Amino acid sequence: MRMLRLLPAFCLYYVATAVTRASEAVATAEEGHEQAPSVFTGDWAESVWTLLWFALLLLVLWKLAWKPLLKSLSDRQNHIQKEIDDAEKSRKQAQQVLEDYRSKLADAERQGREIINQRVKQAQAEAKEVEAQSRKQIEQMKIRFEADLEREKGDAQEQLWTQAGDIIQTIGQEVFGKALNDEDNRRLISQAIERLRQAHRNPGVQ
């Protein structure tokens, strides 16, 4: 490539040298003796020789330097254009990969938010269900406790009145000197105890 660049300079130097020597030879011949006019002597001859050498130079340059130079420039341009096209293609591919990555990242974030929202809603629903069950269990325990309390209270009152009846019978035996064992006396005591129960349950009723 370097030789191709230097070749035109060599050719120009050679042509200039040849033209200079030809001019010097023509001048020397004119000084030595006079000749008849010719196309190869005088100013006209120099012009013709110069045109011939210039045409030869153009031919040499075209064959040896210009066409290879044009081909080299064309190849270089094609290579640069190919690199530009490859770079543009790589840029588009990288842009597509970046867009795909951003899209996947956005989808992942959206799915993550949806999963978190679902878990939060599920936890809230479970908490409400647990709270409702706890309240239901507490209410049931309260009802059972109140029922047990009423039953124990009734059993205690029943036991108390039974003990009161036994005490009255014992007192009557000690006061009257005989046991109140006959059916009529037991019935009278039971009726009296029942009236006391009713009075205790309904204190406003006379």
* pLDDT at 46 > cutoff 60: yes
Question: Does residue 18 form part of some domain?
Answer: yes
* pLDDT at 203 > cutoff 50: yes
* pLDDT at 90 > cutoff 70: yes
Strand ranges (E), the chain: none
Q: Which residue has the higher pLDDT, 88 or 56?
A: 88
Which phi and psi angles does 170 have, rounded to 5°? -65, -45
* pLDDT at 105 > cutoff 70: yes
Helix axes 42-60 and 2-32, enclosed angle (nearest 10): 170
Question: Does residue 191 form part of some domain?
Answer: no
Tokens of 177: 């000197």
What does the DSSP 8-state code read for residue 204? Answer: T
User: How many CB atoms within 10 Å of residue 195?
Assistant: 10
Question: Does residue 57 form part of some domain?
Answer: yes
The count of structural domains within the chain is 1
Question: Does residue 127 form part of some domain?
Answer: no
- Over the Cα atoms of the chain, what is R_g? 68
d(CA 165, CA 76): 131
Question: Does residue 46 form part of some domain?
Answer: yes
Question: Does residue 26 form part of some domain?
Answer: yes
Across the range 155-177, mean pLDDT stands at 68
167 and 192 in contact (C-beta within 8 Å)? no
Across the range 13-40, mean pLDDT stands at 53
* pLDDT at 109 > cutoff 50: yes
3-state secondary structure of 203: coil
Residue pLDDT, tens place only, 135-153: 888 889 889 888 888 888 8
Query: Exposed, middle or buried by CB within 10 Å (0-12, 13-18, 19+), for 185?
Result: middle
d(CA 48, CA 80): 44
Q: Provide the residue range defining the domain that includes 53.
A: 1-70
Question: Does residue 135 form part of some domain?
Answer: no
Q: Among the ranges 59-68, 102-111, 163-172, which has the highest mean pLDDT value? A: 102-111
pLDDT band at 175 (very low <50, low <70, confident <90, very high): low
Question: How many CA within 13 A on the CB side of residue 143?
Answer: 5
* pLDDT at 205 > cutoff 50: no
The reported pTM is 0.35
Question: Does residue 130 form part of some domain?
Answer: no
